[in-house]
Amino acid sequence: MLLTFVAFLVAIALLVAVHEWGHFAMARACGVKVLKFSIGFGPKVISRISKSSGTEYQIGLLPLGGFVRMLDEREEPVPAADLPYAFNRKPLRSRAAIVAAGPIANLGLALLLYTCVNWMGVTEPEALVSKPAAGSIAEKAGFSGGERIIQVGFEEGPLSDVMSFEDFRWWLTRAALEAKALHIAYQTTEGAPRETTLSFQSLDVTHADASMFRSIGFVAPQSPARISELIPDSAAVTAGLQPGDVVLQVDGKRILDAAQLRELISNSGVSKLPEPQQWLVQRKGEHLLLGVTPRQQHEEGRAFGRVGAMIGGAPAMVQVRYGFWSGIHKAGSKTWEVSALTLRMMGQIVTGAASVRNLSGPITIADYAGRSAAMGLEQFMVFLALISISLGVLNLLPLPVLDGGHLMYYGWEGITGRPVSEAWLSGLQRVGFAMLLLMMSIAIFNDFSRLFA
């Protein structure tokens, strides 16, 4: 809990600081006088006034935001000597650059973080796929589990090497949300090369979550069918299974991974009482044949088999690291792809093609901040990059009260030669604030729904 809280504060403070620094740095570059630079809202915790510039730097008690206050005649009277440094007196291109600099700084931070992670290297699961769910797209395409993904690409483009399962998962995400066919080159468990194409035209992407990947068939990387924990007085204990046992065969059928074994056990009790099975297990280098009889259980009107054991071990891992230039290029591509996908997802939510349940609020962000921090610095940096891109893209939307809304006003001014009237500006700001409040309310509701689901 403490790690989650600290990681969340660090993430929010850093992302807000970078965003506001973008506005601040561009304002100074354009000759605008900055009166106050604040990280956080509410009562001041720390405050200092620069003797050279007169800018007040402060940290507020509530870290969920920040602001840069600039000299502006629309907010207060400005002395004649300071008029050349007022924001409203600057040309349109300067005002637009100052507004756009915040979101661009967030995108730049994501690029930097991705680049550093690429240079440092990150340990990720190998691109070995588990047995796909019955009836999934992957199963219909001929995948049975244990295949190694070598290359992927969209049909209209070249194939790219797959470095890890996370790399493959990212390609699946893009293909599903963009409704593109994905061409896959892989090796079977015997090492034979194969190629196939997965079509996602019929896939329901209303909810871009775990259910989408279950429909695709690739939920997690392959993990060994290892017994990790036993429930007392369970079928597994009665059969003599022990933690650390690796299941090799069931009734002479080869077991490739934990997902296959779990499915086999569950299906054994669907239509009738489970029958005795012969399990071939490996224990401390020896092979043992054990008789296991799953027990039928019922839940929510559904019958299934269960042995009372946690099944699954850590997947095979690989170190993913890039060189100097390849790391920068890969980071640039990832920043662009995530930005485009984020914008597409937001557009689908607005049009109804994607559910509003995909919106996440501070509780979900805090949860993922804690999880990624617990996994190590590299994973936390990847999380920060993702959130930084989301913040940058969100702020560029043409929504009043956001940076994109102000850019929309400047676009009108550039076309017509006159600024938006005060009456329109006031009305649009109220509408924008209401829309933003609605989005935040939905996101927080989704957070609590996930929390108590």
The two tokens of residue 252 are 């002479």
Angle, alpha carbons 17-22-28 (nearest 5°): 115
Residue 81: partners with Cβ closer than 8 Å, 6 or more residues away: none
Distance CA 390, CA 392 (A): 5
- The angle at the Cα of 175, spanning 173 to 177, to the nearest 5 degrees, equals 65
Q: Are 341 and 172 in contact (CB under 8 A)?
A: no
The residue annotated as part of the active site, out of 20, 124, 147, 378, is 20
Token digits of residue 11:
């993430």
Written as six digits, the tokens of 419 are: 């600024």
**Angle at the Cα of 67 from the Cα atoms of 61 and 68, rounded to 5 degrees:** 130
Is 147 an active-site residue?
no
Q: Measured at the alpha carbon of residue 55, what is the angle toward residues 51 and 56, in degrees to the nearest 5?
A: 100
CA 254 – CA 256 distance, rounded (Å):
6
364: closest CA among 442, 450, 440?
450
CA distance 228 to 317: 19
Q: Cα(411)–Cα(151) distance, rounded to whole angstroms?
A: 43
CA separation for the pair 241, 256 (Å, rounded): 18
CA distance 228 to 235: 15
Residue 149 CA to chain centroid, in angstroms? 22
Catalytic residue ranges: 20
